[in-house]
Amino acid sequence: MADRVVVTGASGFVGSAVARALAARGFDVCAVLRSTSPRANVENIGCEIVEGDMRDKPSMARAMQGARYLFHVAADYRLWARDPNEIVRNNLEGTRATMEAASEAGVEKIVYTSSVATLKPIEGHSADETSRHDERTVIGAYKLSKVVAERLVEKMVAEQGLPATIVSPSTPIGPRDIRPTPTGRIIVEAATGKMPAFVDTGLNLVHVDDVAEGHLLALDKGEIGERYILGGEDVTLQQMLAVIAGLANRRPPRVKLPRGPLYPLAYAAETVARFTNKEPFITADALNMSKYRMFFSSDKAARALGYKARPYREGLADAMEWFGRAGYLQ
């Protein structure tokens, strides 16, 4: 009988890619979804679907029954919320409940999905796993939530012997970004000609299926308590937008905007969002983050796990092709 593997967040962008990769390798995949989660990303994978919520320990305990491995990918991934503390609570308490349920069920190994959001960018260099944020240096509720959740996992490994390896994806792009993520929204806006300008910033782009493969490598070869960046290529926002424009047969944006005048726009967008409850396209936190180039190195994962990532242009092309088929680019 195939080993049973539980995947939280399996309806999401990274979680569904991980579930697909596990099913393709022959694992018996149990996808944990909330009752309100969309099912499109887990259709045709051939996995068992169990309703549960990462914050609800009894539901996670039910999902863990008979499981050998856990991939905890679920997260509240929002860069804005009417109550920012809600993001921190969800990710911290969801991680606590899920890790406790896995520990009590005797799960043999856990791959915990953190984020490069917990790492401090280094000006002029690609940061590695040693460049760590703390609760005072991090910007925004989402990044804070990932820092405190990651520290909790590290504490449980050190004090309780939790069998967890930590992976930190950079900025995933590619197919099945149904929500879409903040980066997916940039791709859609740029491809439809709604981003005529840009700010001077940078990010590390990686194909979502390479991130998923990195998760499986962490299961096979990752050491307990160690963390591995799963990234791709360092790219400026201007370069990224130029590639998207080429794929969409549009002119690339040429206007570089100073950040200062954008803050009133961000505050206005956040004010509107408080009434509509829809995430604003621009936020003050995002502008503060954009002062830093989010460049990261996956050298440790390459050395220790055999991790590899394809060129970022392939990820953008796959994302655009999927967004086009799914009707996002009309």
Over the stretch 15-74, which tens digit does the pLDDT of each residue have?
A: 999 999 999 999 999 999 998 888 889 988 989 999 999 999 999 999 999 999 999 999
129-146 residues labelled b (16+ CB within 10 A) or e (exposed): bebebeeeebbbbbbbbb
Specify the pLDDT at position 1: 65
Specify the pLDDT at position 290: 84
Are β-strands 109-113 and 171-173 bridged in parallel, bridged antiparallel, or unpaired?
unpaired
Specify the pLDDT at position 313: 98
Which residue, 191, 196, 193, 167, is CA-closest to 177?
A: 191
Threshold 0.85, pTM exceeds: yes
Specify the pLDDT at position 134: 86
Name the stretches of the chain with pLDDT < 70: 1
Phi then psi dihedrals of residue 100, to 5 deg: -65, -40
Specify the pLDDT at position 155: 97
Phi then psi dihedrals of residue 266, to 5 deg: -65, -45
Do 194 and 244 touch, CB atoms closer than 8 A?
no
